Amino acid sequence: MIKKSIILVIAICFLSQANAQSSDSVITKTINKLFSAMKMANDSLILDCFSNNARLQSITRSADDKNVIVNTFLPKDFATNVIKRPQGSYDERIIGNDLSIKNDGELTMAWVPYVFYLDGKFSHCGVDLFSFIQDHGEYKISNLVFNMRKTECKQ
């Protein structure tokens, strides 16, 4: 009886770990899909990454560095802005292995340090903070908050 209990506990732990790794892989694929869609200037693919009620927020500092500026916008506005530029103009990349994903049931968040190139030249870096909602086994971005800076960037 004890052997069966131990085997059951080990199996549950293994399955839980495998499920967490699987959801991490799906989240990473969704993030990479968004970055690829931006690079391709493909609004349909960009919008496919977001849930229906998603919001984005950019956080920057004023030119005099005295104030924090928060801009809130919809995925459709983001996608419209991206497709105004030629393919290849937007190139966002995850920095190293610093990606961190946390999951609890239908809710997942990802902390993603990034570097951004515009028209092949360094533009800025920062962190993307994604919130995902799982619906019918599919993860969609429900919120994306990101900051932008030009200093202290890993490239």
What pLDDT, in 10s, does the model give residues 116-150? 999 999 999 999 999 999 877 789 999 999 999 99
Quote the pTM value: 0.83
Q: How far does CA 137 lie from the centroid of its chain? A: 17
Residue 152's pLDDT is what?
A: 87
What Cα–Cα distance (Å) separates residue 137 from each residue in 13, 14, 22, 115, 140? 21, 20, 11, 30, 10
Contact criterion met (CB below 8 Å) for 64 and 52: no
Domains, the chain, in order of start with CATH, read: 2-147 (3.10.450.50)
Buried b (16+ CB within 10 A) or exposed e, 48-62: ebbbeebbbebbbee
What whole-number distance in Å separates Cα of residue 118 and Cα of residue 125?
11
Residue 1's pLDDT is what?
A: 56
| 98-115 confidence digits (pLDDT tens) | 899 999 988 999 999 999
**Per-residue pLDDT at 76 exceeds 60:** yes
What's the mean pLDDT when you consider all of the chain? 87
Q: Among all chains, which residue has been given the structure tokens 């104030």? A: 67
Residue type, 109: M
